[in-house]
Amino acid sequence: MTLRIHNNDKVLRAPQAIIFDTDNTLYAYDRPHSQALAAAERKAAKLLGVAADEVSGAFARAREDVKRQLGKTASSHSRLLYFQRGIEILGRKTQLVITLDLEQTYWRTFLSHCELFPGVREFLQALRSSGIGTAIITDLTSQIQFRKIIYFGLDDCFDYVVTSEEAGADKPQEAPFRLAIDKLGIDPARIWMIGDHPVNDIAGARPFGISTLLRVDRNHEGRDAGCDVEFDDFTELHQFFFSGKVDGVSQFAGAHAR
């Protein structure tokens, strides 16, 4: 697909700040997750002396249990809690050393398989050069989300980071968006939100009057996501943003940053 504008009035005026989601917006989540979970399950099977399929089933059930108990909170995404509960489901009681080992194995493997989408870094650098504010709203606990941003070398690309742990609630609840807006100190009507999830990112941002941009997978067949823009390529978004079509954005700044 190419970049699709659904609401010219919302995106042909330069924002003062852009808020980004992280997972599946700046990088592809599924492959690193699959590799990391497989590595943790292999280690668990070896350390606990349990068949691989039993480990896999216990961890899947543990994830459901944790999410059901904690609801839409940062801790509901905790691999540490998934592994603790999974080991207990396997009848091994609480095994703190193994649980910590599995969590470290998961995230070490996860990060080693992560890659930013093409054009992300260049777009962020161009925004910085143009004086446009930047922030992140992301679900999960702060420590691992901070580690991801640092791993990608993007820690100097954002003015503010808001995690659902800090906000006390996951998207699309109001708290993370309200906290990011307060930190930026900018009228929401002059803010863009870029994310991959029609509900968590797009529907969550819309009540504030924020302009919404949905990153979709390539060859995506359009759906009514209620967003102002759909795109699948940050390089194309970069070119659009600095093309002169967005009023108040300097073409020179975008070209200089590339």
- Write out the catalytic residue numbers: 21, 23
Q: Label the pairing between strands 133-138 and 211-215.
A: unpaired
Within 10 Å of residue 153's Cβ, how many Cβ atoms?
Answer: 10
Lookup: tokens for 165:
């742990």
Question: Rg of the Cα trace of the chain?
Answer: 20
In angstroms, the CA 170 to CA 180 distance is: 13
Residue 153, Ramachandran bin (φ over 0: left; ψ between -120 and 50: alpha; else beta): left
In angstroms, the CA 78 to CA 178 distance is: 24
Answer whether 14's CB lies under 8 Å from 243's CB. Answer: no
Answer whether 134's CB lies under 8 Å from 165's CB. Answer: no
Residue located via tokens 């690309």: 157
Query: Residue 196 gets which letter from DSSP?
Result: S
Lookup: tokens for 247:
């009023």
In angstroms, the CA 239 to CA 251 distance is: 9
As a whole number of Å, the end-to-end CA separation of the chain is: 23
Helices (H) and strands (E) in the chain, counts: 12, 7
